[in-house]
Structure 1
Amino acid sequence: MVRVSVSTLTEWLRERDDAALARLLGARPDLATPIPADTSVLATRAGSRASVARAAESLDTFTLTVLDALLLCDADTRPVTLAEVAAMLGTKVPRKRVREALDTLAELALVWGPDDALSVVPSAREAAGMFPGGLGRRSAELDGRDLTAVIAELSEPERKVLATLAEGQPTGRSRDANVIVPLEQAETPVQKLLARGLLLRLDAETVELPRQVGLALRGAHPMGQVKVNPPPVQTTAHKLSTVDATAAGEAMELIRHTEKLIALWSGEPPAVLRAGGLGVRDIRRLARELQADEVRCTLIAELALGAGLVIATDTSTPQWAPTTQADVWLAATPPHRWATLASVWLDLPRLPGLAGSKDLRDKVIAPLSEELRRPLAPASRRRVLDALGEFEPGTGVDSPDDLAGLLAWRAPRRGGRLRDDLVFWTIREAQALGLVAFGALTSAARALIEDGPAVAAKNMADAMPQPVDHVLVQADLTVVAPGPLEQTLGHEINLVADVESAGGATVYRISEASIRRALDAGRTSTDLHELFRTRSRTPVPQSLTYMIDDVARRHGQLRGGAAMSFLRCDDEALLAEVAASPAGARLELRKIAPGVLVSPVPLADVLEELRGAGFAPSAEDSDGRLMDLRPSGVRVPLRQRPKPAGVPRTASPEQLADLVSAMRAGDKAAGTRRGRTVALAGGGGADTSATLALLQEAVTQGRNVHIGYVDANGTASQRVIEPIRVGAGVVEGLDSTRSETHRFALHRITAVSLVEDS
């Protein structure tokens, strides 16, 4: 196959087939927004510095090294050959791997042209940094000099300085760079090298190793030690059933801790910090109650917030309180509760691992605060999980360091300063969620990533121990659950006993306080005796029977009731009249003491109802002083601010095909010769009557027209069509390939021209 040399990126893109352009737009979605009018616009965007830098984030270490080699060969200013690039990489780098890297760069439109005329987009040099390949800039004074011979004549201290700069960054700091003196006056190695031109002075304390010297010192390895292949990852194979069972235990513990958080915050909601988030005291209290570390508690709180189980209230003193969604979650089965939390974590645009660290202002980042929001967090998690998913089921990574090294090689420019931390945090959180065990992905995790939470819940249900319908009551008033309890039994046991230790078998402790809690919830002593008699596989100890009866005997002797408002009056006759009136019946007034009536209706409603019935009541505060209860007006709750947009979704194959088709149409329109034209002089829409007349003329004569069009999104484009019908405010026409019919609103056409035959 003969390759035709092209001089510009636009020409090269124009010669690519539709499938290649679709792959380019899919790999670099920023190029497709807004829709490029033609390939010249696409080429301009593809060569912009920001877009090139974004594309380089997806390149692995070796491909970036090949890009550096191209820049060192000055492929951004002149075409270079594959042989030049291979020579720059060194003799030990396989030519096949170089070819593969170039193909990758070409797919991303960072490199174009045949092997004997490769070119790089100019902005790649800016995106690559100051020193591609760790080599300094070229010095014109050194061109043509035999540097190998010059270096051989240097003293050992001088060669050591050069070797140090050649191995790492080509710049260094030295006070001897303050001034350049003649060679005969130079005393230190740096001064002598500056005098010989083997070092360049950047400022009073900085020197730079010229590129020619660096290449001479590196010899057969101009780019140094090139990392052609990814680093090895040590793995261990485990039985998948063991991995799943271990992870299921972690999932059950996560569910239990989340239930405990909801229960704690239902009774005593923690306050929202003034700057947002959860305070140090509250997270420590949660850690004590859950008997877990603060890192785990932060994760659970973040999951509860992400799942909508808790939220900051809109009151004058905001608190973190459970929502009605928490009740829905609690009513679900354990596998579905787990699937809800796991799917939330997978797409959570926050980094719980950052909590406890310090921000740029040296302040501690609080859990649940806005400082934890990171829109790219879901993509980082999926990168880690996808890497684990590449291994055989049950095969786990021995060390997170190995996985971090692998991902760092695959995308060294992605992740920033938190790149390695993200790997450790993801694995730690995935283990706590039951998605990873022994460094391996579980079956439920693979199902969650590939098929969604419903299938993942089914896989987790298979891995979880089957619920048991019995307990073992011990003589020391403990209750042992030999496995996860059925939902109804678990609710009853949690009501009458407190968890003492959790694990494969949960141990509960029965106390007077726990029995009183069950009685407060409406259970009777008979109910509790029946519960233990029917659900315990061991005899119920007599001490437990006596404790239940004793607590029940003292329970409820002092009783309380609820009332929203009261009425008091010294005139018993007036009070009796009010209670006997129809208004009193509607208000459910009830006498509880001489001169006192109570009602479950708010006081403002009671007063309004009685005034409407002809009475003249007034309101009083806790001190007996009169107060005004007139409403102060309607109050509208403050709307929540919209959440920032996340990572844009990749376009579908159909959408990419439409984008390519639109660009091809734009190319054809740009290359047509135009005849008579109708357009509005001010740059707005074309004159409608003139446009209509010209289009009807084209229909009659069967001629193509070139139109300028602005769609509903404000995107301008140019098209060449053969109009076949004009009317009702639209024009229908075949596109340039005569394969599809399109409709264009007349008022959105900015210009129309007859196409002249070439």
Structure 2
Amino acid sequence: MMPATSLADWLRSKSDDELAALLAARRDLATPPPATSMVLATRAGSAGSTARALEDLDTFTLAVLDALLLTDADTEAVPADAVAALLGADPAPALDRLRARAIAWGDDDALRVVPVVRDLLGPFPAGLGASVPELAGADLESIGEDERAVLHTLAAGPPIGRTRDANSTMTLAEATTPIQRLLARGLLVRRDDGTVELPRELGIALRGGRSCSPGALAEPELPTTPPQPSTVDTAGAGEAMEFLRQTEALLALWSAEPPPVLKAGGLGVRELRRLARELEVDDRRAALLVELAAGAGLVADSQTTTPEWVPTTLTDSWLASAPGQRWLTIAQTWLDLPRLPGLAGQRDAKDRVMAPLSEELRRPLAPVARRRVLDALADLPPGVGVRDTEDLVAVLAWRAPRRGGRLRDETVRQTIAEAAVLGVTALGAVTTATRALLADDRGGALASMVDAMPKPIDHILVQADLTVIAPGPMEPELATDVKAVADLESAGHATVYRVTEDSVRRALDAGRTADELHELFRTRSATGVPQSLSYLIDDVARRHGRLRGGAAASFLRCDDEVLLAEVLGGPVAAEYELRRIAPTVAVSPLPLAEVLDGLRAAGFAPAAEGPDGRVLDLRPSGRRIPARARATRRAATEPPVDPEQVTAVLAHLRAGDRAATSRKGAEVRLPGGGGGSDTAATMALLARASREQREVWIGYVDSHGTATQRVITPAHVGGGVLMSTDDQRYPLHRITSAALVED
């Protein structure tokens, strides 16, 4: 068989299975369906499509492609042996990958590559300069060490260097610098007054006769840790619990004091640092917290006259969820987040600081890059992790050096760091929950995380210094009770709270009684309740509520007339316009919350009272805005190729090829398609072809208005439709011409 001389000829000779594999590897080639192999070849050789195809190639395959360019396979056919000689390795596996993507074509004795590859890979394939054939076998033994150092630097690539010595022409005897001596020897080529170039032959010689170093042809090793699945899951769950606690704290802070939105969008540096200080984290983690809170819809721009970042109504349902479900929401948000939180604080191309929640952090391909990193870890056995992030960076850079642009390696580092603080990974390995999440098994991910998280405890440890220690995550009811009566002092795997006079009064203000507080510590403390705590509760309760307030705008009532007289005799009465209306009742035109705050500041301990006389909690619950509709989650990976669609594209392609190479007889042309005086002749021709099972050449306009030609065998004509033997339907009104195919 004659070797294919063009990409179109080579594609035309491929089997349906081989073409289907090509369309699966390069999906853009099938949209819209190519009319002929010539159209497919033209599309496959375009710059944009080829650039996308190159992104999936590893370093070895790109080295083979460089070797093909060095042998000028973009202009003439070259043998595979020439490529192997340059590489010093068998190029067969890489050549198969290049052929499968239609970047190269032809048999091993006549290989070609699409010409646009030279433009895409740059002017120096494999980092080697232009060819100077007369330098092949040049003697490099006589040059000095300083000259050899220059040559080795340029041989490593790129082969050009900027120098002031390039504008001088000297003999070897006159030359004083290494560059001047190399130019005089003819071992460097002057490109212009400030640039020199190392010829290709010398570069290959300095590389040991190869176009690239042997180490670049093999994937770097990835040192791993011993398997420890249970330890990884436990460590990941611990990090997840800490991140959830910090997210809760963020929502509480922004409920009370929402930060402003910058005019250009995003969160200001001052507000970010304030948040980091309040949460006791660094700026990088604070940025990740706010990005994921916004990504999950828990906070949003209020879009008011003075916009602020305010928690949404989704916050309450998220806080009410179990820890495992909360983690699942945050982890899924991170996986699908089309942004790079790690860029916050860095400077953009205009030297401006990129703010969290701003448009500068948007990167639509971030989810794909994130999953690529996690998939590499998930390919390791369960519980096995990488020893060093830089090892994984090197491996992924080798597997796809052209993917990711200038942020390629930094994105890997950011992903590993963020995954660790989220509990997605631990000890360099993905957790069991993450493996399920990557497989889109949300139920399995939730169950695995719940199993790994510490079981909620039902007790606390009360110390003599009035600190309360929770040696793990508390049951929801216990956590609510403890937070009501004690202030958080330090967080972590063991959380420390402190009971103070203010915290006890806060619990009483919320409607709890002294007996309920005594019962809480008596039944829930695994240690004895110190007497000082009991005294504190009783002392605050004895004074609490003796003074009662209600809304008139507001009123105060007190059974102790002396105490009420003390209030009315102090400066607080004038400040809040209090006046007595009965021996035990005073009123104010100001809101009750303001009056009570003023009385507390003056040293009194009032309580708010409802219409039924019960104590009310007037503390604000925090601002909320309506949650906005979130975009439907899009898969970060492309869906599987639909075999039926591929079959239809191939049928379209084959029919176009047959039409392009068939000889047609007398043609019946229908101006505008369908109708007109030639309809009867067309129907007669198609009916004859159907009876005699002969191929017919038709001109056809598809639903997109694209005109094509194809050869088909009619099976049935009727009802305004032509049905072919391969079950394709062609509405007669879209057929513009028809002719029998001649033998």
- TM-score normalized by the length of structure 1: 0.82
* Counterpart contact for 1:172–1:207, Cα < 8 Å: yes
Q: Match for 1:168 among 157, 165, 174? A: 157
Q: 1:181-220 maps to which residues of 2 (within 5 A)?
A: 188-195=177-184, 197-220=186-209
* Counterpart contact for 1:240–1:394, Cα < 8 Å: yes
- Corresponding residue of 2:506: 517
Q: 1:732 to 1:562 in 2, by over 3 A?
A: farther
Q: What is the CA distance between 1:43 and its match in structure 2?
A: 1.1
Q: What is the CA distance between 1:152 and its match in structure 2?
A: 4.9
Q: d(CA) in 2 for partners of 1:276 and 1:644? A: 24
Query: What does the per-residue CA deviation read over 1:191-238, in whole Å, with 9 as the maximum and x for residues that have no partner?
Result: 454355432221111011222333344453343445121111221114
Aligned letter for 2:687? T
* Counterpart contact for 2:367–2:636, Cα < 8 Å: no
* Counterpart contact for 2:138–2:202, Cα < 8 Å: no
Q: Match for 1:660 among 628, 650, 673? A: 650
Q: 1:650 to 1:549 in 2, by over 3 A?
A: same
Q: Match for 1:106 among 99, 108, 118? A: 99
Q: What is the CA distance between 1:179 and its match in structure 2?
A: 4.0
Q: 1:501-580 maps to which residues of 2 (within 5 A)?
A: 501-552=490-541, 553-555=543-545, 557-559=547-549, 561=551
Aligned letter for 1:117? A
Aligned letter for 1:112? W
Q: CA RMSD in A?
A: 3.2
Q: Match for 2:667 among 669, 676, 698? A: 676
Query: What does the per-residue CA deviation read over 1:577-622, in whole Å, with 9 as the maximum and x for residues that have no partner?
Result: xxxxxxxxxxxxxxx9999999xxxxxxxxxxxxxxxxxxxxxxxx
Counterpart secondary structure, 2:85: helix
Q: d(CA) in 2 for partners of 1:237 and 1:230? A: 21
Q: d(CA) in 2 for partners of 1:338 and 1:641? A: 18
* Counterpart contact for 1:678–1:690, Cα < 8 Å: no
- Corresponding residue of 2:49: 51
Q: d(CA) in 2 for partners of 1:148 and 1:741? A: 63
Q: 1:31 to 1:534 in 2, by over 3 A?
A: same
Q: Match for 1:116 among 96, 103, 109? A: 109
Does 303-312 or 382-391 show the bigger shift?
382-391
Q: 1:152 to 1:366 in 2, by over 3 A?
A: same
* Counterpart contact for 1:468–1:483, Cα < 8 Å: yes
Does 175-184 or 22-31 show the bigger shift?
175-184
Q: 1:682-697 maps to which residues of 2 (within 5 A)?
A: 685-689=672-676, 692-697=679-684
Q: What is the CA distance between 1:507 and its match in structure 2?
A: 2.0
Q: What is the CA distance between 1:183 and its match in structure 2?
A: 6.3
> Is it true that 1:8 corresponds to 2:6 in the alignment?
yes
Q: What is the CA distance between 1:558 and its match in structure 2?
A: 4.9
Q: d(CA) in 2 for partners of 1:437 and 1:648? A: 24
Aligned letter for 1:366? A
Q: d(CA) in 2 for partners of 1:207 and 1:286? A: 54
Q: d(CA) in 1 for partners of 2:496 and 2:433? A: 28
Q: What is the CA distance between 1:477 and its match in structure 2?
A: 2.0
Does 213-222 or 58-67 show the bigger shift?
213-222
Aligned letter for 2:649? L
Q: d(CA) in 1 for partners of 2:250 and 2:678? A: 68
Counterpart secondary structure, 1:52: helix
Q: Match for 2:279 among 290, 315, 318? A: 290
Does 303-312 or 178-187 show the bigger shift?
178-187
Q: d(CA) in 2 for partners of 1:594 and 1:164? A: 88
Query: What does the per-residue CA deviation read over 1:608-661, in whole Å, with 9 as the maximum and x for residues that have no partner?
Result: xxxxxxxxxxxxxxxxxxxxxxxxxxxxx9x99999999783452323333333
- Corresponding residue of 1:633: none
Q: 1:307-456 maps to which residues of 2 (within 5 A)?
A: 307-456=296-445
Aligned letter for 1:66? V
Q: What is the CA distance between 1:263 and its match in structure 2?
A: 1.3
Q: Match for 1:134 among 124, 127, 132? A: 127
* Counterpart contact for 2:22–2:101, Cα < 8 Å: yes
* Counterpart contact for 1:306–1:344, Cα < 8 Å: yes
- Corresponding residue of 1:755: 740
Q: Match for 1:462 among 451, 468, 475? A: 451
Does 122-131 or 229-238 show the bigger shift?
229-238
Does 159-168 or 407-416 show the bigger shift?
159-168
* Counterpart contact for 1:66–1:101, Cα < 8 Å: yes
Q: Structure 2: which 5+ residue stretches go unaligned?
A: 555-584, 592-625
* Counterpart contact for 1:310–1:323, Cα < 8 Å: yes
Q: Match for 1:67 among 65, 68, 88? A: 65
* Counterpart contact for 1:692–1:726, Cα < 8 Å: no
Q: 1:691-710 maps to which residues of 2 (within 5 A)?
A: 692-703=679-690, 704-710=695-701
- Corresponding residue of 2:716: 724
* Counterpart contact for 1:469–1:485, Cα < 8 Å: yes
> Is it true that 1:487 corresponds to 2:472 in the alignment?
no
Q: What is the CA distance between 1:441 and its match in structure 2?
A: 1.1
Query: What does the per-residue CA deviation read over 1:296-343, in whole Å, with 9 as the maximum and x for residues that have no partner?
Result: 111111111111111111101111111111122112211111011111
Aligned letter for 1:137? A
Q: What is the CA distance between 1:135 and its match in structure 2?
A: 1.3
Q: 1:690 to 1:223 in 2, by over 3 A?
A: farther
Aligned letter for 1:61? T
Aligned letter for 1:270? P
Q: What is the CA distance between 1:55 and its match in structure 2?
A: 1.5
Q: 1:183 to 1:519 in 2, by over 3 A?
A: same
Q: d(CA) in 2 for partners of 1:595 and 1:521? A: 23
Q: Structure 1: which 5+ residue stretches go unaligned?
A: 565-591, 599-636
Counterpart secondary structure, 2:74: coil
Q: What is the CA distance between 1:124 and its match in structure 2?
A: 0.9
Aligned letter for 1:253? E
Q: Match for 1:471 among 452, 455, 460? A: 460
Aligned letter for 1:529? H
Does 689-698 or 79-88 show the bigger shift?
689-698
Aligned letter for 1:485? M
Counterpart secondary structure, 2:488: strand
Number of residue pairs the alignment of both structures matches:
670
Q: d(CA) in 2 for partners of 1:260 and 1:664? A: 63
Counterpart secondary structure, 1:702: helix
* Counterpart contact for 1:243–1:438, Cα < 8 Å: yes
Q: 1:223 to 1:185 in 2, by over 3 A?
A: same
Query: What does the per-residue CA deviation read over 1:490-531, in whole Å, with 9 as the maximum and x for residues that have no partner?
Result: 223223323322333322222233334334444343433333
- TM-score normalized by the length of structure 2: 0.83
Q: What is the CA distance between 1:182 and its match in structure 2?
A: 6.1
Counterpart secondary structure, 1:485: coil
Aligned letter for 1:753? A
- Corresponding residue of 2:623: none
Q: Match for 1:34 among 11, 28, 32? A: 32
Q: d(CA) in 2 for partners of 1:513 and 1:751? A: 88
> What is the identity percentage for the equivalent residue pairs of Structure 1 and Structure 2?
54
